[in-house]
Amino acid sequence: MEVVCQLCQADAITTRYFDDELCWVAECESCSVPMVVWKKHGAFPDPAAVEQMVQRLDEIARLVFGERPFRIDRVMRQIPDHFHAHARPRPTWLQ
Ligand SMILES: [Zn+2]
Ligand SMILES: [Zn+2]
């Protein structure tokens, strides 16, 4: 069976908040929070690209969460070999 990367595959199907030549931002299907995904398959984009992608995610998350605080989560638990990051709402007791 051919192994298909979920994030590479999602490139064609997910509804986007944002899309450019570097990355896309969409709602994560499993977490239901905004997620930025690098358009190349790999775990280590160069630092400038990472910075740009995190900034995009931050911009979208501000629109999505409004006044609700959130944090950028760069831990890649389920798909460790393809760069992505989530914006997750921050529980109010952590303020
Ligand atoms: Zn997710
Ligand atoms: Zn991939």
- Ligand 1 centre distance from Cα of residue 30 (Å): 5
d(CA 37, CA 19): 10
The correct CATH number of 6-94 out of 3.90.245.10, 3.40.1050.10, 3.30.428.10, 3.40.1710.10 is 3.30.428.10
- What average pLDDT values come out for the chain (95 residues) when binned by 10 residues? 82 85 94 95 97 98 95 94 96 64
Tell me, what's the pLDDT at 94? 57
* Residue ranges per structural domain of the chain: 6-94
Ligand lying closest to the C-alpha of residue 38: 2
Tell me, what's the pLDDT at 93? 66
Tell me, what's the pLDDT at 14? 77
Ligand lying closest to the C-alpha of residue 85: 1
* pTM of the entire predicted model: 0.90
Of 70, 65, 75, the C-alpha closest to 88 is 70
Tell me, what's the pLDDT at 2? 65
- Ligand 1 centre distance from Cα of residue 2 (Å): 23
- Ligand 1 centre distance from Cα of residue 44 (Å): 19
Neighbours of ion ligand 1 (CB under 5 A): 28, 30-31
45 within 8 A of 37, measured Cβ to Cβ: no
